[in-house]
Structure 1
Amino acid sequence: MTSVTSLFAPVEADLEILTENLKKLVGSRHPILYAAAEHLFEAGGKRVRPAIVLLVSRATMQEHDLTARHRRLAEITELIHTASLVHDDVVDEAAVRRGVPTVHSLFGNRVAILAGDFLFAQSSWYLAHLDSLEVVKLLSQVIMDMAQGEIQQGLYQFDASLSLETYLQKSYYKTASLIANSAKAAAVLSELPPALADNLYNYGRHLGLAFQIVDDIFDFTGSTEALGKPAGSDLRSGNLTAPVLYALEEKPHLETLIEGGFEQEGEWEQAIALIAESQGIERSRQLAKHHAQLAVDALADLPPSPALQALIEMTDYVLRRAY
């Protein structure tokens, strides 16, 4: 079974450089914002998104070493992702992230929102200095998509009429857009033909969708300790995901419970039980598997390399969390 550490072996040294550079990028001119950012970077995380950028870079620059622009793109990707987490935690009122207290629980909402804004601003500044208009457009789109995803999630709270198509669109905005557009941006920096760059966008899009679907499955199947929050907490807050949408097709009473906002004692537990009895989890696994296969298919035109193999195996790593 491939661990995420061995999966990133082709870019292990690159990720060590990235971790050191992240704190330097933020700078220390603003002590509280720097403390908030440093706290996030010290918390670690798997660095999946910058690792994908670095793997795509290595898979498309086989005869050459990575350029400084490829490395900076990976760092910008992690800055954007981290900024979005800070804002998400404020919206979700989450007390813990990656096993450590969230920025807003340590520094307050005002500093957390400013810290997220600061990281977005820093990422935009470094992005402009890559001197690639196409890459600027790709990553700027990501920041817009993330905001759109949050808005969409808020609009559809406790709305049992949410379609699977709208759910997947929201999942793209919130999770897959960053992976898709940063993978394509790495291909652009490697000067790949447009068709191959589009293939890498599709790889990131489908991998990102599989990643989010599996995350949504894990919200029901994972332990509170592993999740860092109570199991089923997305449903409790009115965020309807693939397992719920599939379960709604089988269990009509679930709609009544959701639309009522689980106001009566025992209703949320009843909803969890209905989802567990349905085919919602299994059908969601099949949906994630479908997108993972589409991600692998998108890599067909790349020449063999350790980095390419790692990108392929990334899909298996993502799917394993669904079981």
Structure 2
Amino acid sequence: MTPAISMFNPVEADLQLLAENLKQLVGNRHPILFTAAEHLFGAGGKRIRPAIVLLISRATMLEQDITPRHRRLAEITEMIHTASLVHDDVVDESEMRRGVPTVHSLFGNRIAILAGDFLFAQSSWYLANLDNLEVVKLLSEVIMDLATGEIQQGMNRFDASISVETYLKKSYYKTASLIANSSKAAGLLSEVSLETAEHLYNYGRHLGLAFQIVDDILDFTSTEDTLGKPVGSDLKSGNFTAPVLFALKEKPYLEVLIEREFAQEGDLEQALGLIQDSQGVQQARELAAQHAKSAAEHLAVLPPSESHQALMNMTEYVLSRLY
């Protein structure tokens, strides 16, 4: 299956430029924040979100080159994503991210929270300078959604009664909203029709949900080295994802372990065993595949091009991470 990096061939030069620009956008007025940003943007990551923005920009601007506003939107998208990761790591008390120490483990919680706030504020300022009210509204909604998703996740800890629909709504807020709204925003900057813009939004929404479901499956099927965090860490912290919610319908004793918050020795290992012994992971795989398929269907509105094909490949790549 196509690795993410080779899929980005149509926008490889654009992503190179983006990597150089990101550090400059933060500016060096605040040495510690600049050091934190340099650490973040230098930590690698696949740059999937800005790549999607750039691919949609190119797929909708076939007759001409993409504009500086398209490029800036991709940079804003990565800044918002990075800001959310900094805050997530503080909330989750994560020591590592992408194989490198997290900002808060290096600089402390106070600096990490301020660095995240600074990146959100900076991205909002660049967003306003795009001078497109509709795009400002879309990306401002993303920042609200990220906070809503984090609050919802915190309030639902160790709640075995949450539905798959509630889980998907939280996954939309935390992951899919940014991909969906930035995809639509890229189309609006290309002046596509409102109907096409809506298809681009739905491509991003379904792709983002598939991404999150796959991430949640990997929390049970991958290794600590690959994940960069302990296997089952979401389960341990009381954040119940698709494999758990499906397994609960099949393994009632799982609820007993959850109710006592894995307080007794061996509870967590027993819970992981019950999930592995159920159809939970398989049903979650099927759910991810449904969303990836829906994402691909929404691309039918775009004319054939190398960038269009790369966006299609992305829907297959999401699922390929499971195998």
1:86 aligned residue? 86
Identity of matched residues, % = 73
Looking at structure 1, the residues matched to 259 and 53 of structure 2 have their Cα atoms a distance apart, in angstroms, of 41
1:43-58 equivalent positions in 2, closer than 5 A: 43-58=43-58
1:301 aligned residue? 301
Amino acid at match of 1:181: N
2:175 aligned residue? 175
Q: Deviations over 1:275-307 (max 9, x none)?
A: 000000000000000000000000111100000
1:265 aligned residue? 265
2:112 aligned residue? 112
Looking at structure 1, the residues matched to 260 and 170 of structure 2 have their Cα atoms a distance apart, in angstroms, of 23
1:26-175 equivalent positions in 2, closer than 5 A: 26-175=26-175
CA RMSD of aligned residues (A): 0.5
1:240 aligns with 2:245: no
1:185 aligns with 2:191: no
Q: Deviations over 1:155-210 (max 9, x none)?
A: 10000001000000000000000000000000000000000000000000000000
Q: What is the deviation of 1:322?
A: 2.1
1:221 aligns with 2:206: no
Matched length:
323
Looking at structure 2, the residues matched to 88 and 175 of structure 1 have their Cα atoms a distance apart, in angstroms, of 12
Looking at structure 1, the residues matched to 172 and 88 of structure 2 have their Cα atoms a distance apart, in angstroms, of 16
Runs of 5+ consecutive residues of structure 1 not aligned to the other structure: none
Amino acid at match of 2:263: E
Amino acid at match of 2:308: L
Looking at structure 1, the residues matched to 228 and 322 of structure 2 have their Cα atoms a distance apart, in angstroms, of 17
Looking at structure 1, the residues matched to 10 and 49 of structure 2 have their Cα atoms a distance apart, in angstroms, of 15
2:23 aligned residue? 23
Tell me the SS of whatever aligns to 2:299. Answer: coil
Looking at structure 2, the residues matched to 31 and 176 of structure 1 have their Cα atoms a distance apart, in angstroms, of 33
Looking at structure 2, the residues matched to 240 and 253 of structure 1 have their Cα atoms a distance apart, in angstroms, of 15
Tell me the SS of whatever aligns to 1:299. Answer: helix
Looking at structure 2, the residues matched to 134 and 301 of structure 1 have their Cα atoms a distance apart, in angstroms, of 21
Tell me the SS of whatever aligns to 1:56. Answer: helix
Looking at structure 2, the residues matched to 259 and 127 of structure 1 have their Cα atoms a distance apart, in angstroms, of 44
Runs of 5+ consecutive residues of structure 2 not aligned to the other structure: none
What TM-score, normalized to structure 2? 1.00
1:9 aligned residue? 9
Amino acid at match of 1:250: E
Looking at structure 1, the residues matched to 256 and 215 of structure 2 have their Cα atoms a distance apart, in angstroms, of 25
Q: What is the deviation of 1:236?
A: 0.2
Looking at structure 2, the residues matched to 27 and 70 of structure 1 have their Cα atoms a distance apart, in angstroms, of 21
